[in-house]
């Protein structure tokens, strides 16, 4: 893997901070100064400021994010973060973001390539939200949410919408713009009172109380990888299914 990813996996720093360490000459690989394009193999010896570091095992965690926690690894205001809630030897970081008062399903991992693909709009990872709103959305409001509403950054993609109660709706989205659900509901005249993500990429919170987490099963991580596997281009070569 690339050197900055190795340092991130080792819990030394984020990839961006790791790049700064490399450019400052503080990282060596097998005794030689590391470069931004250096790739690290299993048997290579990596040191930062003369101290050896080792990449951590890959970890995948599903957290039931409670209200009042920040979706970052650290917070300058001293607020509790989602990373504080996960007690693992590996350093995991959140995939995407949920607002501080939003609750629900949040994936954390130190698998950078998978996290990047899951967060990339190209793959349209499914996210299901249960939303308590002001007022009572009518059929016209629900149809607008389903077909797309005009926001300041453009029209939203079609969404699946269900009315669960007079002031509660379920929205299934395949895009992830900043504060999208809140902005969509405001656009149809029903500001959000409470927002909860019930499902992320097929992962539900069954059995998880707020603030609790669990590691994913191998079958779940494999399904996530298949979900964001790049499609094979027409005419490309490859093994045919047996």
Distances (CA, A) of 232 to 201, 239, 240: 21, 11, 12
For residue 69, count other CB atoms closer than 10 A to its CB: 24
Marked catalytic residue, from 44, 84, 87, 99:
99
Is 99 annotated as catalytic? yes
> In terms of C-beta density within 10 A (0-12 exposed, 13-18 middle, 19 or more buried), how is residue 26 classed?
middle
Contact (Cβ atoms closer than 8 angstroms) between residue 200 and residue 127: yes
Q: Which residues contact 222 (CB under 8 A, 6 or more apart)?
A: none
Q: What is the largest CA-CA distance in the chain?
A: 67
For residue 151, count other CB atoms closer than 10 A to its CB: 15
Contact (Cβ atoms closer than 8 angstroms) between residue 210 and residue 103: yes
At residue 149, the 3 state secondary structure works out as: coil
- What is the torsional sign of CA 43, 226, 196, 217? negative
Q: What are 216's two structure tokens? A: 């994913």
| Alpha-carbon span 162 to 150, nearest angstrom | 20
Element (H, E) at 131: strand 127-133
Catalytic positions, written as ranges: 99
């Amino acid at each position: 893997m690339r050197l900055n990813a190795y340092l991130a996996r080792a819990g030394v720093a984020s990839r961006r901070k790791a790049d700064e360490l490399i450019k400052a000459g503080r990282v060596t690989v097998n005794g030689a100064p590391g470069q931004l394009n250096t790739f690290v193999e299993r048997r290579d010896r990596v040191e930062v400021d003369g101290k050896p570091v080792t990449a951590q095992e890959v970890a995948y965690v599903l957290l039931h994010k409670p209200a009042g926690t920040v979706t970052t690894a650290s917070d300058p205001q001293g607020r509790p973060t989602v990373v504080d809630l996960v007690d693992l030897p590996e350093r995991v970081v959140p995939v995407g973001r949920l607002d501080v008062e939003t609750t629900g399903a949040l994936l954390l991992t130190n698998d950078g390539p998978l996290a990047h693909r899951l967060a990339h709009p190209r793959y349209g990872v499914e996210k299901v939200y249960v939303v308590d709103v002001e007022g009572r959305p009518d059929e016209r409001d629900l149809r607008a949410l389903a077909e797309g509403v005009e926001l300041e950054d453009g029209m939203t993609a079609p969404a699946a919408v269900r009315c669960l109660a007079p002031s509660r709706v379920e929205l299934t989205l395949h895009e992830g713009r900043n504060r999208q659900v809140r902005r969509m509901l405001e656009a149809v005249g029903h500001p959000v009172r409470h927002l909860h993500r019930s499902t992320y990429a097929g992962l539900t919170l069954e059995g998880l109380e707020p603030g609790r987490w669990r590691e994913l099963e191998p079958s779940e991580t494999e399904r996530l990888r298949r979900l964001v596997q790049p499609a094979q281009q027409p005419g490309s070569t490859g093994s045919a299914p047996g």
